[in-house]
Amino acid sequence: MWTSGEDCVYSNEVITALSQSKPLVALESTIISHGMPYPENLQTALQVESVVRENGAVPATIAILQGKVHVGLEREELEHLSKKGKSVWKCSTRDLVYVLAQRLDGATTVSATMVIAHRVGIPFFVTGGIGGAHRGSERTFDISTDLIELGRTPVCVICAGVKAILDIPKTLEVLETQGVTVVTYGQEEFPAFYFASSGIPSHIHVDKLEDISRMFAVNRRWNLSSGLLVAVPVPRKDKDISDRIQNAIQEALEELQRKQLTGEQVTPFLLQRIADLTGGDSLKLNIELILNNAAVGAQLAKLYASRSDTSS
C-alpha cells in the first residue's frame, strides 16, 4: 500500500477507515469531470458518496491533483474537479505516468481507478458502466483499456453492465479471453447500462450478494490476477424512456459515422448526443443507475469485510 507523502494523499475519512478496518469503496472521478456538466456533476458525486455511507461503507473518490494521487476527496477538492470539468486530463492507465510526472490534474477512468484502488488496498470499486469493444472494433481495434485492466487487476467492479453504445457481445468475448469472471446480480440476462437487459444471457447470475462475496473471497484466496465484474441492472424499467434512448443511440451512431470520429472522441460524443436527443433523460437515468450501483457496492463491501475467509 502507498503511504501518504510524495506519491499519495488520503482524505481524513479514508485514513480513519483504514485505521479502523472499515469497508471502503473506490469511486472514479472521470464521471465528475467529463461525464456531467457543473453543478450536476458535483451534486451527483456528493450523492454517490452519501449513498455509500448510508449502506455501511466509506467512499474513496480517486483523482490526481497537482501530480499526486488522492484517495478520497475533501469537499473543496470535489468542487475544484467539478468546476474544471473537461479541462483536466482524462486519465486512463496509459496516462498515469505522464500526469503524475508532469504534476497535472487528472480525473481517473475505470482502468486507472482500478490500478490505484488495488495499489492502496481497496478491493471494491463502483462505477456507472465500463468501457468495452466499440461497434466495428473488428476493423478499428477500438477496445477499452477497462477490459485489459479487468484481466490483470484483482478488483471487484460493480457497474450497470457495458455501455449500450458499445458492442456488448464482443465485449463479453474479450472479457472471457481475459479470464474475467462476469456475474449478473438479480436477473438472468446481462444488463446494458441504460437498459435493464441487453437480451444476452449471463454466463453466471446470482440473486444474493453473499454469493458474490464468496466468489470474490475465492478470487483473492487463489491470488487470481483477474478482477470480478458485477453487473447490476438499472432499477427503472420505463419502456417509453428506453425506446427514446434506443432511437437516440441509433441517431448518434449515424452522426458519429458521418463525422468520422475515432478513438477517445467516440464515447464522449455519443453520450453527449444521446443526452441532447433525449432532453437530458439519459443523464437522469445515468445518475439513477450509479446511485443504485453505489448502494449495492457498499453493501457488498460491508458483507465482504465481515467474512472470516478473506485474504485481504
Report the pLDDT value the prediction gives residue 238, as an integer from 0 to 100. 67
What would the grid cell of residue 11 be? 482524505
Terminal C-alpha separation, the chain? 12
Per the residue annotation, which of 28, 49, 149, 189 is the catalytic one? 28
Whether residue 28 lies in the annotated active site: yes
pLDDT computed for residue 170 by the predictor: 96
Contacts (Cβ under 8 Å, ≥6 apart) of 59: 13, 24, 25, 27, 48, 49, 52, 53, 72, 294
Residue 3 lies in a domain: no
Which of the residues in the chain have pLDDT under 50? Answer: 311-312
pLDDT reported for residue 2: 59
| Residue 234, C-alpha cell as written in the block | 438499472
pLDDT for 5 equals 59
Instruction: Count up the domains in the chain and report the number.
Output: 1
Residue 1 forms part of a structural domain = no
In a domain, 312, yes or no: no
Q: Which set of grid coordinates corresponds to residue 166?
A: 458499445
pLDDT in tens, 122-144: 999 999 999 999 888 888 888 99
Question: Does residue 136 belong to any structural domain of this protein?
Answer: yes
195 within 8 A of 243, measured Cβ to Cβ: no
Q: Which domain holds residue 122?
A: 8-305
The CATH number that applies at residue 258 is 3.40.1790.10
| 130 occurs within a structural domain | yes
pLDDT of residue 262: 73
Q: How far apart are CA 78 and CA 63, in angstroms?
A: 9
List the catalytic residue out of 49, 149, 163, 170.
163
Q: Is 311 inside any structural domain?
A: no
For residue 25, being part of any structural domain is answered with yes
Which pLDDT does position 312 carry in this prediction? 45
264 found inside a domain: yes
